[in-house]
Chain A
């Protein structure tokens, strides 16, 4: 495909006469760009724009098999309830905690893994990446068993040998959030390390060399060279971590074996959407939840990008 692309671009420029032929649309330089973005446009319209538009419409409807009625803002009015607020709070707390852990820690680890003095680099890279390949379902079930409430459960039996009473990990808001964050850290650490490693390898070695000549310490090199030059990749990781946090669902679902957790301590926004829309067969209401989630994510991302100065004109680096 790459070859045909090149030739198509070149041909009309070399042979201006041929371009005038109205029948030969294939060689038109005006159409070519549209032609090449066409696949993307199609998939965007079918798999993104259409669902979003129909979700907006459904959020104003009561959707039942064979009976669809417009009910105005009724779904949005019902949204203002303690369970939904709790779901928002859970998702927010989870997102913030994962951001606090899953940005700095992988960054530091990536610097270690990129360092010349580190031994067995490739082995550690693989080990940290393996959890990312595990399915959430498998990981969730294993974590459920590790964090069981009986004395015999793995974690409690380890704590027991230090004389600590068994803890019902999944029954309290704090410990259950802890479990979720541990699961997220274990699972996503490797991916984030990978991103940062890619960023680190793009930093020109000459910068460090000249800093060394000037007598900069390792710490100063990290703060004044590594961190600033990692900014673009950090923004990227930050943004996808926000998405990931706000859209978390499967981890909590698998940890509790269903979407039901005591006092809804594991309920996330997507979990609530699923509960209302699918489990209670109220797709209109579920759509309203989805639209609110979309708005929340948009606002947060907008603020964050503004904060990082992404809307400013690109300055010379």
Chain B
């Protein structure tokens, strides 16, 4: 009898080893639901500022909809991790949040095959006429909208007015990229400080100048074919290479404009200007506090006098996943946060984003002072309205993630650090992506 008992015990022990691995986490969920009331919605993003914004909007939603309260649980992950985690969760059909942010360069990944996202047309349709159409198109497939935009993402140029004054330049006199180069030379000679920095491990500096080109094509053609070796694109990279050769530009410390090393460098007056989209304002305010009051925002120089001076750059689509248990509520909430008039005003106030809804652009709320006007001065929105008609769009296709990867690893670094012939660098990348 005793042996039998021992054998049974041994058997149970072995089995319990396996069962221990399978225990589910429901007990955790129950505990957390108690500390907030309302339906729990989980949110994943890759930007702390986005998370704060959604939390603010969730409080606002709860005030206005006491009958349908939500309890937003946000998590911020590093850029790559946020996207990979979400992709794996969607691919495997388990573990995805209700709401997630997907950056534009990655969005195409999630539209491959059958998108595992919820179609948003029914919440978009009532507001559709007010939203800049190209901003919805980049997050769509076969006429179905899957993501809601944060902003137009107009690209602008930020001048360090202190350094520009030292060199005796008025940023308003710089109209074209040729002017910019000449001014840069003088700035370098008079102050010893480089005019600008360029991304060599991130697409922004390059993509903005390419998208700004007149016409429908940029890194991809209008029909989503690769366009890396067209003469215009090569010319842009050549221009950047010349800036570096002459010392007017330096590769951004840390290789990109989002590196800790770069923030420190710029904060100490390391370069006289940088061209980045409007949404980069938040980085100035948060990471470069010493430049407060010294930075002015101007439209980008044009390639030719009178040419377009801006491009709608980057962006993040907020999506509802098909694993959400409350997709209707999630949809209503993100529409409230990003499509409503109120939401769009908050997008500007909280995040400094140029809202995608055109009918709020002349709203008095946008000229009120906030943390951004304190840092950059009162005329931010005037600059934006000035280029309103000149904002070029971008083409996003299935090849976009691969093009972005090539820009982050080979093309820019080879042309701007290794000083390889721009045409060759672009050609090699294009051949490989094909």
**B9 in contact (CB, < 8 A):** yes
| 16 additional A-B residue pairs with CB within 8 Å, beyond A278-B87, A279-B83 | A1-B10, A4-B6, A7-B3, A11-B3, A63-B91, A64-B112, A65-B112, A65-B115, A148-B254, A149-B253, A262-B201, A262-B409, A263-B418, A279-B87, A280-B401, A281-B87
Contacts of A81 in B (CB 8 A): 432
A80 to B143 alpha-carbon distance, docked (Å): 37
**A239 in contact (CB, < 8 A):** no
Q: Give the contacting residue for A263; candidates B84, B261, B410; CB below 8 A.
A: B410
Known: A4-B7, A66-B114. A279 touches B261 (CB 8 A): no
CB proximity of B254 to chain A, nearest CB, Å:
7
Contacts of A274 in B (CB 8 A): 84
Contacts of B80 in A (CB 8 A): 258-259, 279
- Once the chains bind, are B200 and A262 in contact (CB under 8 Å)? yes
Contacts of B408 in A (CB 8 A): 258, 260
CB proximity of B166 to chain A, nearest CB, Å:
22
- Residues of chain B whose beta carbon lies under 8 Å from any beta carbon of chain A: 3-4, 6-7, 9-10, 13-14, 17-18, 78-80, 83-84, 87-88, 90-91, 109-110, 112-116, 200-201, 253-255, 259, 261, 264-265, 401-402, 405, 408-410, 413-414, 417-418, 432
Q: Give the contacting residue for B10; candidates A4, A153, A278; CB below 8 A.
A: A4
Known: A42-B18, A67-B113. A262 touches B91 (CB 8 A): no
Q: Give the contacting residue for B253; candidates A26, A67, A150, A280; CB below 8 A.
A: A150
- Once the chains bind, are A65 and B114 in contact (CB under 8 Å)? yes
**A275 in contact (CB, < 8 A):** yes
Q: Give the contacting residue for B417; candidates A64, A171, A278, A281; CB below 8 A.
A: A171
Contacts of B10 in A (CB 8 A): 1, 4-5
Q: Give the contacting residue for B401; candidates A153, A263, A279; CB below 8 A.
A: A279
Render A41-79 as a binary contact track against B, CB cut-off 8 A, 1 for contact: 010000000000000000000011111000000000000
Known: A39-B17, A263-B410, A278-B87. A82 touches B261 (CB 8 A): no
Contacts of A5 in B (CB 8 A): 10
- Once the chains bind, are B432 and A171 in contact (CB under 8 Å)? no
- Once the chains bind, are A64 and B114 in contact (CB under 8 Å)? yes
CB proximity of A80 to chain B, nearest CB, Å:
11
Known: A148-B261, A281-B87. A275 touches B112 (CB 8 A): no
**A301 in contact (CB, < 8 A):** no
Contacts of A148 in B (CB 8 A): 254, 261
- Residues of chain A whose beta carbon lies under 8 Å from any beta carbon of chain B: 1, 3-5, 7-8, 11, 26-27, 38-39, 42, 63-67, 81-83, 148-150, 153, 171, 257-264, 267, 274-275, 278-281, 283
A149 to B417 alpha-carbon distance, docked (Å): 13
7 CB contacts below 8 A, A to B, read: A65-B115, A148-B254, A171-B413, A259-B80, A261-B409, A279-B401, A283-B91
CB proximity of A91 to chain B, nearest CB, Å:
16
- Once the chains bind, are A280 and B265 in contact (CB under 8 Å)? no
- Once the chains bind, are B432 and A83 in contact (CB under 8 Å)? yes
A280 to B109 alpha-carbon distance, docked (Å): 6
Contacts of A26 in B (CB 8 A): 3-4, 7
Contacts of A66 in B (CB 8 A): 113-114, 116
CB proximity of B404 to chain A, nearest CB, Å:
9
Contacts of B14 in A (CB 8 A): 38-39
A93 to B418 alpha-carbon distance, docked (Å): 22
Contacts of B401 in A (CB 8 A): 279-281
- Once the chains bind, are A275 and B405 in contact (CB under 8 Å)? yes
A54 to B424 alpha-carbon distance, docked (Å): 40
CB proximity of A13 to chain B, nearest CB, Å:
13
Please, which residue of chain B has its CB at the minimum distance from the CB of A11? B3
A31 to B14 alpha-carbon distance, docked (Å): 16
A1 to B88 alpha-carbon distance, docked (Å): 40
A38 to B17 alpha-carbon distance, docked (Å): 13
Please, which residue of chain B has its CB at the minimum distance from the CB of A83? B432
| Residue among B9, B10, B90 with most chain A CB within 10 A | B10
| Residue among A4, A39, A259 with most chain B CB within 10 A | A4
CB proximity of A269 to chain B, nearest CB, Å:
16
A263 to B428 alpha-carbon distance, docked (Å): 12
Contacts of A278 in B (CB 8 A): 84, 87-88
A262 to B200 alpha-carbon distance, docked (Å): 8
A148 to B265 alpha-carbon distance, docked (Å): 12
- Once the chains bind, are B114 and A262 in contact (CB under 8 Å)? no
Task: Please list the 5 inter-chain residue pairs (A to B) with the smallest Cβ-Cβ separation, ordered nearest first.
Answer: A64-B113, A66-B114, A4-B6, A262-B413, A281-B109
A260 to B200 alpha-carbon distance, docked (Å): 11
- Once the chains bind, are B402 and A280 in contact (CB under 8 Å)? yes
- Once the chains bind, are B254 and A149 in contact (CB under 8 Å)? yes
- Once the chains bind, are B90 and A65 in contact (CB under 8 Å)? yes
Contacts of B414 in A (CB 8 A): 263
Contacts of B261 in A (CB 8 A): 148-150, 153
Q: Give the contacting residue for A65; candidates B113, B255, B259, B405; CB below 8 A.
A: B113
Contacts of B418 in A (CB 8 A): 263
Contacts of B112 in A (CB 8 A): 64-65, 281
A66 to B92 alpha-carbon distance, docked (Å): 10
A42 to B14 alpha-carbon distance, docked (Å): 11
A190 to B97 alpha-carbon distance, docked (Å): 41
Known: A82-B432, A262-B201, A263-B418. A279 touches B3 (CB 8 A): no
Contacts of B6 in A (CB 8 A): 3-4, 7-8
| Residue among B79, B409, B418, B432 with most chain A CB within 10 A | B409
- Once the chains bind, are B17 and A4 in contact (CB under 8 Å)? no
A261 to B255 alpha-carbon distance, docked (Å): 10
Contacts of B114 in A (CB 8 A): 64-67
A83 to B428 alpha-carbon distance, docked (Å): 11
